[in-house]
Amino acid sequence: MQAYALTDVGRVRARNQDYLYSSSAPVGGLENLYLVADGMGGHKAGDYASRFLVEQLVAYLEKNRLEDERMLLQEGIRHTNRLLYEKSLSSPELEGMGTTLVAATIKNNELIVANVGDSRLYLYKSGELSQITRDHSYVEEMVRLGRMTRGSREYLEKKNLITRAVGTNRTVEADYFRVKLEAGSLVLLCSDGLTNMMTDREIAVCLAEGGTLKDKVERLVAGANRNGGRDNIAVVLADPQISEVGVC
């Protein structure tokens, strides 16, 4: 496993509310762990929320072990959500804070993913980018119900309204995915500071260009900033370095 992670404040925001974690070495019972969290824009202490989530989740996973990686992530997210929610009640300055989360771990050529909110995980292979996670956002809910067209004026105006976040309620439910990885695949985790500034096609072009993982990540961040950089940007790119082709 190899990975490279980078976060950037962007060109507009004064503070960076994105927070990430990248470890290709074992974390407790997990063989590796990659996280991106995006503190809720416009809410109090979004930067505190994203950092708290990542640090507390990593601490939980380091101390707890389960044979099933999905169950371990699920228990860790529920535990950390409860801590963050209780912290939000402790001070008026922290009231209403919340954060997105996308988490991934890889074992035996299988990718296990959890997400809450609109931070995303993609798979990239042979020039093609495939979104694995589903956004918990108002506009995507409307698209799934057939009440809104993706890319329409209303969609763009309301794109940042998320319907689920960590820390805003006493309980939270993440979505989970298991995907068999194919040889040559790259795993991309990112906040909406990337995906709101670059199309999937533009992201795929950056990943298709040569260079190291560091080169590819830096091109993505530079592209988001070149296109406006209206939000904080967080990117984790992992290469599982597998040799066998699998079908999900």
Rounded to 5°, angle at Cα 89 from 170 and 94? 110
Helix (H, G, I), strand (E, B), or coil: what is residue 172?
Answer: coil
* Sign of the alpha-carbon dihedral angle for 137, 138, 139, 143: positive
Arch. (CATH architecture) of 2-239: 4-Layer Sandwich (3.60)
What pLDDT shows up at residue 245? 46
| pLDDT tens, position by position, 4-57 | 999 999 999 999 999 999 999 999 999 999 999 999 855 568 999 999 999 999
- Say how far apart CA 148 and CA 153 lie, in whole Å: 10
Q: Which two tokens stand for residue 170?
A: 């006493």
- Say how far apart CA 9 and CA 2 lie, in whole Å: 24
Q: Which two tokens stand for residue 7?
A: 């976060």
What pLDDT shows up at residue 247? 43
By the 10 Å C-beta count (0-12 exposed, 13-18 middle, 19+ buried), 158 is classed as middle
CB 5 within 8 Å of CB 238: no
What pLDDT shows up at residue 139? 79
Paired sense of beta strands 110-116 and 175-180, if any? antiparallel
Phi and psi at residue 189, to the nearest 5°:
-110, 140
pTM: 0.92
What pLDDT shows up at residue 44? 63
Residue with tokens 């329409």: 152
DSSP 147: S
Phi and psi at residue 207, to the nearest 5°:
-75, -30
Q: For the chain, which residues score pLDDT lower than 70?
A: 41-44, 157, 244-248
